[in-house]
Copies of this chain bind each other. A is one copy, B any other.
Amino acid sequence: MGVTIRDLAEHCGLSVSAVSKALNGYSDISEATRQAVMTAVRELDYHPNAHARALKGGRSYNLGVLFSDDSQSGLTHPFFSTVLEHFKREAEQEGYDITFIGHRMGNGRVTYLDHCRYREVDGVCMACLDFDDAEVREVTESELPVVTIDRRFQDVPSVMSDNEGGIRALMDYAYSLGHRRIAYVHGPSSAVSDVRLKAFRESAERLGLTVPAEYLLPCRYTDPENARAIVQVLLSLPQRPTCILMCDDYNTTGAKQAAVESGVNIPRDVSLAGFDGLSQMQNFSPRLTTVYQDAPRMGREAARLLIAQIENRPTAESVIVPVRLLRGETVAPVAQGPKTI
């Protein structure tokens, strides 16, 4: 159907191999013939066939993306969709397409790794999934180049936000506004959650705050309903916190809901902060105070790290992407008025 390299060769009066070498920048082709080939390429509108190229054992110029399979929110994840979008852009710029790796292939199930081999992806970007799953580990331990996002393995380059710095900045900020009773609705245990929780504890200690156990509650990510229920509990505590940190921006909507239902005004009665800095959340008033994660940059860095590996270029082992405290309106100076107890 399309015009092949053979057509090109005939058109130029060259052999197929000569054309191929001209196209791929081999040194044993004269500049004159190279130019002839190039103009022929334009004339005939030639484009190489990706499958043939991949088959020959070279690369497929295809990157696998392993990204919260079934059950989860997948592509609609408010944070990772941004990471992915920019991963895709950077990859495209380098000549790579991306394909999603799942384990649902037609009728039967298929291992992630098998799926990778089936499509012969040159490398895999892994994010937002259960890294303790055996199938997932199989990929990280394979010979395939891998980059992970928000999770660190030995020998596997990774991209992470400066979660520790983010929590620290948030805590310092709240403290500076007079908050001494700070609760943290943290995510379920994971690499990221654990780092943040540790940073929270350390910050509290550093600032001389004592955090009662009932101020530390786990909550699923991006699950406002879950968040609502949990914040309900926090707000009905005899000694209620003056400031609540949520594990992500999206959950603050649930927290707000709980506040409304409890007759609590944010930020007058209780301050509220999120994590992520989703642009979609910055349009509501009062504007959310949160930690901005540079999702676009995370995506870009991940693509760079992965492609550098594939092309055997020297690469950093790991990248920490800086975060930024967004001082919104939901964390206010702690009420100086009548003490609530």
**Chain A residues within 8 Å of B, Cβ to Cβ:** 1-2, 45, 47-52, 54-55, 60, 62, 70, 73-76, 78, 81-82, 84-85, 88-89, 92-95, 97-100, 102, 104-107, 110, 114, 117-120, 224, 250, 253-254, 256-257, 260, 280, 283-285
A50 and B120 contacting across the interface, CB-CB below 8 Å:
yes
A81 and B75 contacting across the interface, CB-CB below 8 Å:
yes
Question: In the docked arrangement, what's the CA distance between A110 and B82, Å?
Answer: 24
Copies in the complex: 2
A101: nearest residue on chain B (CB-CB)? B97
Given A2-B117, A49-B120, A118-B47, A85 and B93 touching (CB < 8 A)?
A: no
Given A81-B76, A97-B119, A250-B280, A114 and B257 touching (CB < 8 A)?
A: no
CB contacts (< 8 Å) of A105 on chain B: these are: 92, 95
A89 smallest CB distance to B (angstroms): 8
CB contacts (< 8 Å) of A51 on chain B: these are: 50-52, 54-55, 60, 119-120
A225: nearest residue on chain B (CB-CB)? B283
16 sampled A-B residue pairs with Cβ under 8 A: A1-B117, A48-B118, A50-B118, A50-B120, A51-B52, A51-B54, A70-B89, A74-B85, A75-B81, A75-B84, A75-B85, A76-B81, A76-B82, A89-B104, A97-B119, A224-B283
B45 and A49 contacting across the interface, CB-CB below 8 Å:
no
B280 and A254 contacting across the interface, CB-CB below 8 Å:
no
> Of A50, A55, A120, A260, which is in contact with the most chain B CB atoms at under 10 Å from its CB?
A50
Checking B1, B98, B284 against A100 with a beta-carbon cut-off of 8 angstroms, the contacting residue is: B98
A88: nearest residue on chain B (CB-CB)? B100
A99 and B98 contacting across the interface, CB-CB below 8 Å:
yes
* Beyond known contacts A73-B85, A99-B99: 16 more, CB 8 A cutoff: A47-B114, A47-B117, A49-B120, A50-B119, A51-B51, A51-B52, A51-B55, A52-B55, A75-B75, A76-B82, A92-B105, A97-B99, A97-B100, A97-B119, A250-B280, A256-B285
Question: In the docked arrangement, what's the CA distance between A275 and B117, Å?
Answer: 42
CB contacts (< 8 Å) of A81 on chain B: these are: 75-76, 81
Question: In the docked arrangement, what's the CA distance between A250 and B279, Å?
Answer: 11
Checking B62, B93, B283 against A253 with a beta-carbon cut-off of 8 angstroms, the contacting residue is: B283
A79: nearest residue on chain B (CB-CB)? B76
A1 smallest CB distance to B (angstroms): 8
Checking B47, B102, B253 against A92 with a beta-carbon cut-off of 8 angstroms, the contacting residue is: B102
A95: nearest residue on chain B (CB-CB)? B106
A78 and B119 contacting across the interface, CB-CB below 8 Å:
no
A2: nearest residue on chain B (CB-CB)? B117
CB contacts (< 8 Å) of A100 on chain B: these are: 88, 92, 97-98
A288 smallest CB distance to B (angstroms): 12
Given A49-B120, A283-B224, A104 and B114 touching (CB < 8 A)?
A: no
B85 and A280 contacting across the interface, CB-CB below 8 Å:
no
A35 smallest CB distance to B (angstroms): 16
A93: nearest residue on chain B (CB-CB)? B104
A114 and B45 contacting across the interface, CB-CB below 8 Å:
yes
